[in-house]
Each structure stands twice: as C-alpha cells, then as structure tokens.
Amino acid sequence: MNILKPILLGSVFFMSGTPAFAGDEDLEARIKRLEQVNQQLLDLLGAKDIAKTSIAEPIITLQKSTPVITASTQKSGNLVGTSAKVSYDMLDHTVNTNTRQLVQLKARSEGKLPDKVTLGGNITALANYQTTSDDSKFGWLMRHPTSSNQIGKKASEAVLHAANLSVNANVTDNVTAYMELLYNPEQSFGSGTITALNRNQIQLRKAYVMWGNLDKSPIYASLGKMDIPFGLNDTVSPFTNSTNWHAFAGLAYGAQLGYYNNGLHLRGMAVQGGSQFRSANTPVRGTNVPSKLNNFAVDANYSFNIGEDNNVLAGASYQHGTAYCQNYPVFHFTPCDDNNPAFAVYANAKLGGFTILGEFAETTKEWAGTAVPDPTNPLSVFAASKATSFTLGGKYDFDESILGGGKDSLSIEFSKFISGENDAPWERQNQIVVGYSKFLSPSVKAFSEYVHVDGYVPLNFLSGGNFPDGSTWSVNDASTNVFAVGIQAGF
C-alpha cells in the first residue's frame, strides 16, 4: 500500500492538468481541490484494504470496461456469444421442424439470446449397417435411394451425416436476423457419390429477417428462405425422420405472418411459386420458374396444459401447391399443369414421461404421375392415387438414467407413405423405427436405432418412364433393415 499511494496520488495530480499561473489565488484553489481529491482516494484505498489483495485476484477498475467477445451464455450481453441449447433447438432436425421463428422469439423473451450476435452449430456423426432384399434398393429415407449411395445387398457406413452453422443477430429489440449453413452430402441432390465434389457443397439452407417481440406483441413476421408452416413433421425417433417429414416438409422463399398468445399459434405464409426447394410447386404460366408469389400455406394449432407435467397440442394445416403435381414420368422440380393442394391434421401430447405423436397429411387431388398413360404398358392398370402420409409414435423419458449420465429415452414410431393403388409397385413405403437416446448434456445426444422399411419407392420415376421397356424401379415387397448409432452435438 505504501508503494501504491504515491503512484496513485501522482497520477491524480498529473491528470488534474498543469496549473495556470494567473495568480496565487488560482494556484491555491487548485491545490486545495487536489488535496480533497487525494483525501477521497486515500479513504477509498483504506476501505478496500488493497494491502490484503493477492496478486492473483482481479483489480476492479472504476472505469467501465469495453465488452469482450466471449462464449458465455449467462446474461453476458456481449457483442458475440454462443448459446449451445438454443443452437441445438434451432438446428435439430427431429423436433420443432417448422417453428424455428417461435423458438427464437421465446429464447429472446426468456433471455437465452442475450448477445448481439449468437453463433451456433450442430454436427451429426453416424455409423450404420444396412441390408436389403433387392440388390442396391435400400429404402431408408435418411439416404437418397440410389445406387450412388448404397450398392449390393449389404452396406455399412461411418460418416458425417450433416454439419450446420448458424448466426442469430439481435438487430434491434424487435428485429432478428437469422442464417443457417448446411453441409449434408448424404442427402444432397448433387450427382455422384458422397465423395463427389457436386455433393460436398455448403449451402445457405435458411435465412430470413424477422420482426417480433413476444414481450410487446403476439404478432410476428418473417421474410426470406424458411420452412413452410404445414403439418407438424416432427418425430419421436432420435434420428430418423418420419415419412410425413419426407413427404410434406416444405422449404421455400416467402413471407410469413404469425400470432402466438396463450397457447394459440396461427401462421400464414405467402410462398413463392414455381418449384421450390422442398415440397412446394405451383405452375407459373406452365413453367416451374419461381417468378410469381402464387402459392401459400396456413396453419393453426393450440396447446394447453393439464396439470403441471402434461401438455397437449393439436393443429391443422392447408397448403395450396405441393410437390405432387407432375404428370408421368415424375421427376423432381419439373413443371406442373396445375397445383395439387394438401391438408394435414396432427396432435402431440406430453403426459408425464410419455410423449405421443400422431399426424395425417394428404393431397386433395390425385397425383397424375402415379398413373401410366400408355395403355399398352401393363402398369397402366393402376389408376392415379393421392399422396398420403401418416405417423404414429410414442416415447418415454426415464426419470433416472438407465446407463448413468444424462436423460434416457426409448421410442417407437410407425409411419407410412402411400403413392399408388393397392398392389402397385409404387403403392407405399412403411417405416418402423425403434430408438434409444441419451443426452450427455442439454445440447449433446447419443442415439441408436433399428429401422425396418417395407417397399422401395423413389419419388423420381416412381411409376416408371426411365427404362426403355416402360418398367419401374419401384418394388412393393422390398424390405430394408438398418442398425444405426450416432451422436448429435450442438454448440
């Protein structure tokens, strides 16, 4: 303390400025003022007892420090930070699949996104063993069903399934900007195998600007590239999406308006026309060019509590133009003569440790391309069919860990996609998933699954048209079995 006092006193004297020599009275006033400041400083030093402060302890300065870039999520309020749990919730592909805006708004309202910019990410690594009854025809929907992905009757993988990076920016109290990058060669539409350059691309999966603040108003709006508000499309399985998600989960350019208050959630989205990124297509002057805002979707759901640990959500949706509108032969993203709407109804109940999920979605008109127009082709006996999918699943979260560590869950789910008449080669694809998962932390999940699939129905050329003899590569009685283990880590 004897060393610190003269240094601090000299610093104060120096900062007080050079005395003016206009007169003795001015000089005396300056000296008196300096003595008062010095006494206040000595009193402060004595109260804090700096002599007992160890070298390892931080010294608190009286001047406000400049914010530092940090990874803290505990009310840091810094320029840049992370929030692992929010990032996991935003990037998880199994739940909240088309309600990301509401996840963000709730997180901001609850103080979980305190930083100006929040960086996030998610990596899913996977090992699996697959078998099929028919050569090179694997029906697992988490892989594109082509011989570029799996070949023969047995396949095995130890791969990176997907990696995401996200940026959430609190532009103002009422404006949020969001963007998400995705790397997923296993599910890429690019040509070649999973090591081909065309399939090893990083894409801007979603990006939008949102206006909304649940603390001020129940209304919100977003503009950009986002999920279409149609159906639930969630799953109780730890990894494998349901057939409802694969069939009807849309991604498109558009503008969305939402309302959320006391469990009531209403959404409407004006969707860009033409063929969009996923599960949306309306013709624009007979083409698939997205040059007109002529598609839309609406969704309404309501959730309510029953006691402390029970919650029920139920809802319904309508979409003006789905992807199931092409004529024969069917091929992704090609133009349609007319739109084919769809509706969905769904419910999700959390009753103590149990979660029960159910969903049904169907087009309102037959899918023209599911009928072969050539009367000389034996497959022409099958009439056109609507595109239909339904899911029923259940999960149980254990109060105590089975294997030690974090929360354990067991699940079973059945889902079905119907795209043809009875006995047609492209009639349906059934999927059963039995899963186990353990959260090692709130944002890290280890999982294992057994998946059984009946039917092999690739949407491209499902009813034929790609072989000279008019046959189809769809197989009604094909079966696929998958054993998978993996880990999903959010950060």
Residues 128 and 20 in one domain: no
- Whether 75 is in a domain gets the answer no
pLDDT for the residue numbered 13:
38
pLDDT for the residue numbered 36:
75
- Whether 65 is in a domain gets the answer no
Please name which of 377, 316, 306 lies closest in space to residue 347, comparing C-alpha atoms: 316
- Whether 262 is in a domain gets the answer yes
Domain hosting residue 33, numbered range: 4-52
Residues 186 and 305 in one domain: yes
CATH classification at residue 216: 2.40.160.10
Residues 431 and 354 in one domain: yes
**Final residue in a domain of this structure, among 12, 32, 52:** 52
Residues 182 and 45 in one domain: no
Residues 18 and 144 in one domain: no
Percentage of the chain lying above the pLDDT 90 cut: 79
- Of the candidate ranges 50-54, 156-160, 178-182, 345-349, the one whose mean pLDDT is the lowest: 50-54
Residues 135 and 9 in one domain: no
Task: List, for residues 424-473, the tens digit of each pLDDT value.
Answer: 999 999 999 999 999 999 999 999 999 999 999 999 999 999 999 999 99
Token pair in block for residue 303: 């959730």
Residues 167 and 21 in one domain: no
Residues 42 and 115 in one domain: no
Per the prediction, the chain carries an average pLDDT of: 88
**Considering its fold, how many domains does the chain have in total?**
2
- Whether 333 is in a domain gets the answer yes
- Whether 481 is in a domain gets the answer yes
pLDDT for the residue numbered 74:
42
Task: List, for residues 196-252, the tens digit of each pLDDT value.
Answer: 999 999 999 999 999 999 999 999 999 999 999 999 999 999 999 999 999 999 999
Q: Are strands 117-132 and 80-82 parallel, antiparallel or unpaired?
A: parallel
Is residue 343 within 8 Å of 318, Cβ to Cβ? Answer: yes
pLDDT band of 309, cuts 50, 70, 90:
confident
Q: Long-range CB contacts (< 8 A, 24+ apart) of 107-110?
A: 107/83, 108/170, 108/176, 108/213, 108/214, 109/213, 109/214, 109/215
Residues 20 and 114 in one domain: no
Residue 12 phi, psi dihedral angles, 5° rounding? -65, -40
pLDDT band of 31, cuts 50, 70, 90:
low
Residues 42 and 147 in one domain: no
pLDDT at 263 over 70: yes
- Whether 349 is in a domain gets the answer yes
pLDDT at 402 over 90: no
Residues 265 and 178 in one domain: yes
Please name which of 231, 235, 243, 229 lies closest in space to residue 388, comparing C-alpha atoms: 243
Token pair in block for residue 202: 């990083």
Cis status of the peptide bond prior to 329, with omega within 30 of 0: yes
- d(C-alpha 230, C-alpha 345), whole Å: 9
- Whether 219 is in a domain gets the answer yes
pLDDT at 108 over 60: yes
Q: Are strands 444-456 and 175-183 parallel, antiparallel or unpaired?
A: unpaired
Residue 36 phi, psi dihedral angles, 5° rounding? -65, -45
pLDDT for the residue numbered 46:
57
pLDDT for the residue numbered 406:
76
pLDDT for the residue numbered 42:
61
pLDDT for the residue numbered 365:
98
- Whether 230 is in a domain gets the answer yes
Which carries the bigger pLDDT value, residue 8 or residue 29? Answer: 29
- d(C-alpha 60, C-alpha 27), whole Å: 33
